[in-house]
């Protein structure tokens, strides 16, 4: 086929017919392919319509042109997933075209979409985080053993930015009995907790006064749950009703239920308290290195996501407060 005389729109029509008859694609899928391929033609067209009124010759498209098209889509704000889908549609067109005539290479091969942006971790506003960990569930007895355990766990999660696995690994003291060694422990006098994080690395994190008091309130009730036949579980700071060490899953379920009980607007989980801790400490101190150490991040890159959370909050304040930031402002 002498493709130089065949307009791009005609070639696309032939390709869609091929997909319909040979690949048996649905009308809905074909419509999506048609839109993506028509957009390719629009992107390949010269910026000045008077410069060249002819349609782009698809058999002469280069990889550099495809990269430029993808970059223009990215600049328009199109997300990585959508760009990846369009590149896939374009790649299929050129693969089919190569079967129809000789082409040196598929110009889409080797062109990758931008990396998918990771969603920012969800953090609660400071007042909501404090309400979550301090307010009693109206459906439960605030003086019960379960309520005291919950409050101590939730306060410590938020106070020290712990992972839930680190939280449940904490003992009441640094225990070394035969092969057993504590993965973590609380030191009320020093107001700090030692935990074992990822990679088996231990770190010490400060504990706030509210969490310390909640733990002191919990300890007498905890003593009544300790059972001699539970072995090393008896060292655990947080125990369930059967005297066994608290598990991550039970902690998650308790926090979720508590969040619903106090009518939190979000579906809360332990890692949300860790994110909230990091975001609030960074907002107040601006010390990224300190937050990195307290979170136990091996690289500061992992901690830098909280600077985006901080800016997000500042942007919200700006939008709400600045007269020139409001939509329609200045008219």
Q: Is 322 a catalytic residue?
A: no
Predicted TM-score (pTM) above 0.75: no
Mean pLDDT across the chain, nearest whole number? 87
Q: Is residue 222 flagged as an active site residue?
A: no
Two structure tokens written together for 78:
């199109």
Nearest-angstrom CA–CA distance, 90 and 78: 16
The predicted structure's pLDDT at residue 3: 44
Query: How high is the pLDDT of residue 196?
Result: 95
Residues of the chain short of pLDDT 50, as ranges, are 1-3, 48, 51-52, 328-331
Catalytic residue (choose from 198, 201, 202, 249): 198
235 classed as catalytic:
no
Structure tokens at 291: 């937050």
Specify the 3-state DSSP secondary structure of 86: helix
Q: What is the pLDDT of residue 331?
A: 42
CA atoms within 13 A on the CB side of 30: 16
Annotate 288-301 with DSSP letters as a single string. HHHHHHHHT-SSHH
To the question of domain 11-100 being in CATH 1.10.150, the answer is yes
pLDDT in tens, 276-310: 999 898 888 888 888 899 999 988 888 887 777 76
Nearest to 193 by CA among 177, 176, 171, 210: 171
CATH of domain 126-323: 1.10.443.10
For the chain, the domains span 11-100, 126-323
Q: Which of 20, 140, 256, 271 is catalytic?
A: 271
Residue 74 is among the residues annotated as catalytic for this protein = no
Q: Which residue of the set 74, 122, 297, 313 is catalytic?
A: 297
The SS3 of residue 108 is coil
Q: Do domains 11-100 and 126-323 have the same CATH topology?
A: no
CA distance 272 to 138: 22
What are the CA-CA distances from residue 172 to residues 74, 134, 191, 208, 211 (Å)? 53, 22, 13, 17, 14
pLDDT for position 78:
86
Helix (H/G/I), strand (E/B), else coil: 46: coil
Of 222, 235, 274, 280, the active-site residue reads 274
Torsion angle defined by CA atoms of residues 233, 175, 181 and 133, in that order, rounded to the nearest 10 degrees: 60
Active site includes 274? yes
3-class state of residue 206 by DSSP: strand
Q: Which of 86, 151, 163, 245 is catalytic?
A: 163
306 is an active site residue: yes
């Amino acid at each position: 086929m002498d493709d130089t005389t065949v307009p791009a729109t005609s070639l696309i029509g032939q390709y869609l017919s091929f997909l319909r008859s040979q690949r048996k694609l649905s009308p809905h899928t074909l419509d999506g392919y048609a839109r993506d391929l028509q957009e390719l033609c629009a992107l390949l067209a010269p910026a000045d319509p008077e410069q060249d009124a002819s349609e782009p010759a698809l058999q002469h498209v280069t990889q550099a042109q495809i990269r430029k098209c993808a970059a223009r889509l990215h600049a328009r704000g199109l997300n990585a997933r959508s760009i990846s889908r369009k590149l896939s549609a374009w790649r299929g067109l050129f693969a089919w075209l190569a079967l129809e005539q000789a082409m040196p290479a598929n110009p889409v091969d080797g062109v990758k979409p931008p990396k998918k942006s990771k969603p920012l971790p969800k953090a609660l506003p400071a007042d909501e985080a404090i309400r979550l960990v301090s307010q009693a569930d109206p459906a439960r007895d605030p003086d019960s053993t379960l309520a005291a355990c919950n409050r101590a766990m939730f306060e410590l999660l938020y106070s020290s930015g712990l992972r839930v696995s680190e939280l449940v690994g904490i003992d009441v003291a640094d225990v070394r009995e035969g092969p057993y060694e504590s993965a973590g422990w609380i030191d009320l006098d020093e107001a700090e907790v030692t935990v074992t994080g990822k990679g088996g690395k231990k770190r010490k994190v400060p504990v706030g006064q509210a969490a310390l008091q909640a733990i002191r309130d919990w300890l007498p009730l905890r003593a009544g749950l300790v059972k001699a036949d539970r072995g090393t579980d008896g060292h655990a700071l947080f125990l369930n009703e059967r005297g066994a060490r608290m598990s991550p899953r039970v902690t998650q379920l308790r926090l979720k239920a508590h969040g619903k009980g106090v009518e939190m607007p979000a579906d809360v989980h332990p890692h949300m308290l860790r994110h909230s801790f990091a975001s609030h400490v960074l907002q107040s101190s601006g010390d990224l290195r300190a937050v990195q150490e307290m979170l136990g991040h091996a690289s500061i890159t992992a901690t830098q996501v909280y600077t985006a959370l901080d800016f997000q909050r500042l942007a919200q304040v700006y939008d709400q407060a600045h007269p020139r930031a409001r939509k329609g402002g200045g008219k």
